[in-house]
Amino acid sequence: MAKSDKSTKASGMNAQERKSVSALSSIFALRMMGLFLILPVFSTYAHGLKGALEHPELVGIALGAYGLTQALFQIPFGMMSDKFGRKPVIAVGMIIFAIGSVMAGMADDIMGVLIGRIIQGSGAVAAAVIALTADLTREEHRTKAMASIGITIGLSFAVSMAIAPILNEWVGVSGIFMLTAGFSLLSILVLYLVVPEPENTGHHSDSEVTSSMFKEVLRDGALLRLDAGVFVLHMSLTALFVVLPLVLISNDLLPQAEQWKLYLPVMLLAFALMVPFIIVAEAKRKMKQVFLSAIAMLIIASLMFAWAHDSLWWVAAALLVFFTGFNTLEASMPSLVSKYAPAGAKGTAVGVFNTSQFFGAFIGGVLGGFLYDPIVQNFATVFYVVAAMLTVWWLIALTMAQPPYVATITLRVDAKDEQHAQRITEQLLAIDGVAEVRVMIDEGAAYCKIDKKVIDEDELVTKAATLI
């Protein structure tokens, strides 16, 4: 029934899989750096553009605008890649992103930058890149491949925060936009010259959105809590950076060219402090407690910003608390989505989750733009509103149950019809440690959720191979 090569699996990814994952991770990194590099330097630049004085709210809207079109187009781009091919759809998306970057870089007024940011977000290739990654990796290594991409995104965020002020000093924000356009075009070369052509392109429910599963995912209370949470998380981040660069300059705390001296040590230390929280959450099975603690860190940090943003050391401490909580949540929330998602519906659950994240970034920019008044410099107002939204999220998260501590394992199966699929499902569920099973006949796959403290993947493959 189940087909697997244990000796191949034991040796890890093969050379082509490693090459594919490395290349696709680099494409993700180039794409995300194009968005993240702007974050710590945009507000001070945008307030000097034509039209910003009369309409200061457009600064925040422009900062978050990419999130709106990213949210609208990321699922359709993934579905189009099923129909038109992965590489052509990714290449078109990267070209759109490059066009938006050039438009934003050439604009001398805030409206031009806003339009460029909207176009940038329209090149929403994340789902298509994930689908190509699934095509190029075997089922038993797919989770590892997706984790590698996730780590790459986190590192690109940290690097962007550290080097953006330096790049701004060298080439300015317009130059950064042009640089991101270059990154985008470079990623197309990597796509066609380095990434192998997949032997088989198919739909993978564990990695891609499946339209028939939307209703199931949108009715799941646990997943909806996470969707609301990631919305608030990225709303808070974007709203924070509408005003934080202005805080550092307006209060003469740190010139923009030297702000890397703040961001670099904070990001490094925040990553280090995140690790024990993740270990406790996963190994000690204290996910809910760590989750609530991380949200509380964001609330505390927001209040710290509001109470005393005229001291560099106080701002540095607040940033450290904020990014320790933020990094902990960014690392743990995708894992929670995987744990809560019904077997075989992880791709759809992640698609909805990511859409909520991008909408949150957009609303955060809008919120920060409308709340902040550059005449009176009411920084505290933004921080208090962010703290209030985070408190609402903490109360929502308080109602969540401890998540099931399960991992998703994919088995290749040859189910000939619905009756055969049902028989395979029943036999797999009878194995101790298997909590949930969904057999997808058209994919030739059985998605199993297992408790790894009871049964590991090797054991499951061995036992499943003896079933009919």
Give the containing element (helix H, strand E) for 410.
strand 407-413
User: Which one is predicted more confidently, 392 or 414?
Assistant: 392
Cβ(12)–Cβ(421) below 8 Å: no
Q: Which residues of 163-173 are buried (b: 16+ CB within 10 A; e: fewer)?
A: bbbbbbeeeeb
Cβ(278)–Cβ(325) below 8 Å: no
Q: What's the token pair of residue 51?
A: 């039209």
Crossing angle of helices 260-283 and 139-193, in 10° steps, is 150
d(CA 403, CA 415): 31
Least Cα distance to 396 among 298, 322, 292, 301 occurs for 292
Looking at residue 11, what is its pLDDT? 52
Model confidence at 468: pLDDT above 90: no
Cβ(446)–Cβ(428) below 8 Å: yes
Crossing angle of helices 221-250 and 346-371, in 10° steps, is 30
429-454 per-position pLDDT tens digit: 999 999 999 999 888 888 999 988 88
d(CA 430, CA 427): 5
d(CA 394, CA 334): 18
Mean pLDDT of the region 375-398:
96
Say how far residue 400 (Cα) sits from the centre of its chain.
Answer: 22
Looking at residue 219, what is its pLDDT? 95
Looking at residue 1, what is its pLDDT? 53
Looking at residue 206, what is its pLDDT? 84
Q: Please name every residue paired with 447 in a beta bridge, in sequence order, or none if there are none.
A: 410, 438
Torsion of CA 248, 250, 254, 258, to 10 degrees: 90
d(CA 296, CA 353): 21
Note the pTM of the prediction, 2 decimals: 0.93
The lowest-confidence range among 61-75, 197-211, 330-344 is: 197-211
The three-class DSSP label of residue 120 is helix
Q: Please name every residue paired with 437 in a beta bridge, in sequence order, or none if there are none.
A: 448
Tell me what percent of the residues of the chain surpass a pLDDT of 70. 97
User: H helices of 13-53, where?
Assistant: 15-36, 42-46
Confidence of residue 4 (pLDDT cuts 50, 70, 90): very low
Cβ(267)–Cβ(327) below 8 Å: no
Cβ(153)–Cβ(32) below 8 Å: yes
Looking at residue 9, what is its pLDDT? 45
The three-class DSSP label of residue 5 is coil
Say how far residue 155 (Cα) sits from the centre of its chain.
Answer: 12
**CATH fold of the domain at 209-405:** Growth Hormone; Chain: A; (1.20.1250)
Q: What's the token pair of residue 392?
A: 């609402």
Q: 10 Å Cβ neighbour count for 402?
A: 11
308-320 per-position pLDDT tens digit: 888 999 999 999 9
Q: Can 13-208 and 209-405 be said to share one CATH topology?
A: yes
Least Cα distance to 87 among 20, 140, 149 occurs for 20
d(CA 172, CA 372): 24
Model confidence at 33: pLDDT above 50: yes
User: H helices of 85-220, where?
Assistant: 86-106, 110-122, 126-135, 139-193, 214-218
| 452 CB burial (10 A radius; 0-12, 13-18, 19+) | middle
Domain residue ranges in the chain: 13-208, 209-405, 407-464
DSSP code, position 50: B
Q: What's the token pair of residue 332?
A: 């743990």
Q: 10 Å Cβ neighbour count for 307?
A: 12
Looking at residue 151, what is its pLDDT? 86
DSSP E strands in 238-367: the ranges are none
Q: 10 Å Cβ neighbour count for 54?
A: 8
Confidence of residue 389 (pLDDT cuts 50, 70, 90): very high
Q: Please name every residue paired with 109 in a beta bridge, in sequence order, or none if there are none.
A: 50
Say how far residue 59 (Cα) sits from the centre of its chain.
Answer: 23
Which CATH number, 3.40.50.10800, 1.10.4080.10, 3.40.50.2300, 1.20.1250.20, labels domain 13-208? 1.20.1250.20
Cβ(460)–Cβ(434) below 8 Å: yes
The three-class DSSP label of residue 437 is strand
Mean pLDDT of the region 270-280:
93
**CATH fold of the domain at 407-464:** Alpha-Beta Plaits (3.30.70)
d(CA 396, CA 292): 10
Phi/psi at 126 (nearest 5 deg)?
-55, -45
Cβ(85)–Cβ(377) below 8 Å: no
